[in-house]
Amino acid sequence: MKLVVATENKDKLKEIEGYLYCLPVTLIPQSAFNVPKAREIGLSFVENAIIKARLAAKYSDLPSIADDSGLAVDALGGAPGIYSARYAGNDARAEDNIKKLLSAISTLSGEERRARFYCAIAFVRHYNDPIPIICQAQWEGRLLTKPVGTNGFGYDPIFFIPNLNCTAAELDAKHKNQISHRAKALHEFTEKLKLIYPQIVHAKQGKE
């Protein structure tokens, strides 16, 4: 089964590939079909994920999966939220976004620095699919005062996981792909995908 991954983010693509490698599906980046950049005009992660999945399906004429994710800080009313990737501007780098966020929460301490990564996965069988698969998950943590760690991407260096006593950027890819918000959403997605395409289960069992 061929499945288009609707993202231009190479780090996200790598994480999705790392999680779905065990399924008998061929993942194809949307760049192979010259899919234009989606206009993320939704007001929620779910809406934007659906927009991206439908656009990729329209141009590829194949089933498509899209991820929309970001960081939500309670004390900031959920910001940066759906604007996480462009918090400091449309062409902002991760370092710019982190710098702006740390400035916004500079006077906060303790529980006031609670935050969570949120992920919404949308899957459509075709462009006009009336019942897309939607999977959502979150990852609880707390924000540090400065970046720590060199792995991961985005806000990972300031996202501290209390029970592991480290940041998301200090985790190796294998560990992160077991516990992150995206990992949880992708796990739910694979289970739902098996219900729609039973042949995936049989094909996987045949390889074992």
What distance in Å separates the CA atoms of residue 155 and residue 77, rounded to the nearest whole number? 17
Q: How many CA atoms, within 13 angstroms, populate the side-chain half-sphere of residue 8?
A: 9
Categorize the per-residue pLDDT at 139 as very low, low, confident or very high, splitting at 50, 70 and 90. Answer: very high
The domain locations on the chain are 2-207
Question: Which tokens sit at 117?
Answer: 């990564």
Tell me the mean pLDDT in the region 23-33: 92
* Better pLDDT: 72 or 25: 72
Give residue 14's pLDDT band: very low, low, confident or very high (50, 70, 90).
Answer: confident
What is the CATH topology of the domain spanning 2-207? Maf protein (3.90.950)
DSSP-derived pairing of the beta strands 114-124 and 64-73: antiparallel
Cα separation, 175 vs 61, in Å, equals 34
Catalytic residues: 68
Record the pTM: 0.89
Whole-number Å distance between alpha carbons of 114 and 138: 13
- Mean pLDDT of all residues in 164-186: 94
Binding residues for substrate: 7-12, 69, 153-156, 176, 181-182
CA distances from 73 to 42, 122, 172, 200, 208 (A): 19, 23, 24, 38, 43
Half-sphere exposure at residue 43, Cβ-oriented, CA atoms within 13 angstroms: 0
pLDDT of residue 204: 47
| Residue type at position 115 | A
